[in-house]
Structure 1
Amino acid sequence: MQHLGFPLYTIIIFILFVVAALFVDLVGHKNDKIMSLKSASLWSIFWVLVSVVFGVFLYYEHGGEMAKLFFAGYILEKSLSVDNLFVIMAIFTWFKIPQNYRHKVLYFGILGAIVFRLIFVAIGSGLFMLGSWMQIIFGLVVLYSAILMLKNNDSDDDEIEDYSNHLAYKLVYKYFSVFPKIVGHSFFINENTAQSELNKNPNLNFLDKKT
Structure 2
Amino acid sequence: MEISVLGWGLTLGFIAVLFALDLGLGVLRPHHVGFKEAAAWSTFYVLVALAFGLVVGTQFGWGYGGEYYAGYLVEKSLSVDNLFVFVIIMSTFAVPDKYQQEVLTFGILLALVLRAILIALGATLLALFSFMFLLFGLLLIWTAVQLFRHRNEDANVEDNLLVRAARRFLPVTDEYMDGHMVTRVDGRRVVTPLFIVLLAIGGTDILFALDSIPAVFGVTQEAYIVFVANAFALLGLRALFFLVTGLLDRLVYLSTGLALILAFIGVKLILHWAHDLSDAVPVVTTPFSLAVIAVILTVTVVASLVKIRRDPSARAHSGSVVVVSRAPGRPQEKKEE
Task: Tell me whether the two structures share a fold, i.e. TM-score over 0.5.
Answer: yes
Matches of 2:172 and 2:149 in 1, distance apart?
A: 31
Matches of 1:175 and 1:134 in 2, distance apart?
A: 35
| Matched length | 169
Answer yes or no: is 1:145 the counterpart of 2:154.
yes
Q: TM-score, normalised by structure 1?
A: 0.65
Question: What SS is found at the alignment partner of 1:65?
Answer: helix
Partner residue in 2 for 1:88:
86
Sort the Cα spacing of 1:136 and 1:61 in 2 relative to 1 into closer, same or farther, 3 A: closer
Spell out the pairing of 1:63-74 with structure 2 (5 A cutoff): 63-74=61-72
Deviation string, structure 1 residues 141-164 (Cα, Å, up to 9, x no partner): x74427x89xxxxxxxxxxxxxxx
Answer yes or no: is 1:10 the counterpart of 2:4.
no
How far has the Cα of 1:180 moved from its partner?
3.0
Deviation string, structure 1 residues 176-205 (Cα, Å, up to 9, x no partner): 24333211111121345769xxxxxxxxxx
Equivalent residue letter for 1:172: A
Report which structure shows greater RCO (CA 8 Å, sep ≥6): 2
Structure 1, 102-111 or 24-33: larger mean CA deviation: 24-33
Spell out the pairing of 1:85-164 with structure 2 (5 A cutoff): 85-117=83-115, 132=142, 135-136=145-146, 140=150, 143-145=152-154
Sort the Cα spacing of 1:92 and 1:138 in 2 relative to 1 into closer, same or farther, 3 A: farther
Deviation string, structure 1 residues 35-67 (Cα, Å, up to 9, x no partner): 011100000111112212322222222122222
Answer yes or no: is 1:189 the counterpart of 2:208.
no
Q: 2:168 aligns with which of 164, 170, 174?
A: 174
Sort the Cα spacing of 1:138 and 1:59 in 2 relative to 1 into closer, same or farther, 3 A: closer
How far has the Cα of 1:173 moved from its partner?
3.2
Sort the Cα spacing of 1:137 and 1:25 in 2 relative to 1 into closer, same or farther, 3 A: closer
Higher gyration radius (CA): 1
1:55–1:71 contact (8 Å) kept in structure 2? yes
Long gaps (5+) in structure 1: 150-165, 196-211
RMSD of equivalent CA atoms: 3.4
Q: TM-score, normalised by structure 2?
A: 0.43
Matches of 2:21 and 2:107 in 1, distance apart?
A: 16
Deviation string, structure 1 residues 45-102 (Cα, Å, up to 9, x no partner): 1111221232222222212222221111112212112101111111111111111111
Long gaps (5+) in structure 2: 123-134, 190-337
Partner residue in 1 for 2:43:
45
Sort the Cα spacing of 1:133 and 1:99 in 2 relative to 1 into closer, same or farther, 3 A: closer
How far has the Cα of 1:137 moved from its partner?
7.9
1:179–1:194 contact (8 Å) kept in structure 2? no
Identity, % of aligned pairs? 26
Partner residue in 1 for 2:54:
56
